[in-house]
Amino acid sequence: MQLTRKPIKSLRVTVHPPEGEVRVSAPHAVPLSVIHAFVESRADWIKRHQALVRDESPASLDYVTGEQIPFAGRMYPLDVVHRPGRPSVTLHDDARVVLSVPASADRSQRERAVDAWYRAHLDIVVPPLIAAWEARLGVSITEWRVRKMKTRWGTCSIKARRIWLNIALAAKPPECLEYLIVHELIHLLEPSHNARFKALMDQHLPNWRALRVKLNRGNHRQDD
Ligand SMILES: [Zn+2]
């Protein structure tokens, strides 16, 4: 749990993708004991929302047959088949995902195979999105990279003009990935999330608020 003191009137608890992190905002005057009691009273709500968040996050998977694996905004049944040699992941008939691994592969090896598949997907879909939006916004970046991030969908280093994308975006609907890319590129025009930033988002991607909600499944904010 992450606690932030803020000049607000009441306690607020939120659950954040991709891993269901719990964050609590509390007024300065509220003692810790009250905060703990409040969080405890919301335990069911927190669990429910964490389940929602994690259902769509590959972080909760064991990578075994019978699980549902998220990819590009849809859930696919996962089949794990044992085969010697290099692990591979393939999408069959747009209906199921087959993960081929040696029988000895542990969870982290299976996860790495899926991560490589996610990265390969992002390598295909991200460059045209970036190129199109660079042209449209009149900005340019020097590079983009993918990495695992626990609490953010993406970041933009304005100085280096570099964008980092969370690998878990490969699991999300394409329009949510596009929203995130537009968000990060607009940071090159406006670094903070102020009124000007929102006006630019409104101008270029009018439905960005709905896409943000979709990306976060009803959670309250997206930090980047
Ligand atoms: Zn941002």
| Residue 53 or 30, more confident | 30
Residue 196's CATH number: 3.30.2010.10
Cα–ligand 1 centroid distance for 185 (angstroms)? 9
Residues 45 and 70 in one domain: no
In a domain, 223, yes or no: no
Cα–ligand 1 centroid distance for 55 (angstroms)? 25
Residues 149 and 86 in one domain: no
Domain that residue 155 falls in: 118-216
pLDDT-derived band at 4 (thresholds 50, 70, 90) equals very high
pLDDT for 55 equals 61
Cα–ligand 1 centroid distance for 126 (angstroms)? 18
| Residue 127 or 52, more confident | 127
Cα–ligand 1 centroid distance for 203 (angstroms)? 16
Domain total for the chain?
3
In a domain, 203, yes or no: yes
Q: What mean pLDDT is reported for the chain?
A: 90
pLDDT for 56 equals 63
Residues 78 and 155 in one domain: no
Cα–ligand 1 centroid distance for 184 (angstroms)? 6
Cα–ligand 1 centroid distance for 211 (angstroms)? 14
In a domain, 112, yes or no: no
| Residue 126 or 51, more confident | 126
Residues 170 and 129 in one domain: yes
Exposed/middle/buried for 187, CB within 10 Å: 0-12, 13-18, 19+?
buried
Lowest-pLDDT range of 38-52, 90-104, 113-127:
38-52
pLDDT-derived band at 221 (thresholds 50, 70, 90) equals very low
Cα–ligand 1 centroid distance for 212 (angstroms)? 11
Expressed in angstroms, the distance from the first to the final Cα of the chain is 19
In a domain, 222, yes or no: no
Lowest-pLDDT range of 8-12, 155-159, 186-190:
8-12
Residues 134 and 208 in one domain: yes
Does this model's pTM top 0.85? no
Write the pLDDT tens digit of every residue in 56-92: 666 678 898 988 899 999 989 999 999 999 999 999 9
Lowest-pLDDT range of 6-20, 45-59, 118-132, 194-208:
45-59
Residues 90 and 152 in one domain: no
Residues 22 and 77 in one domain: no
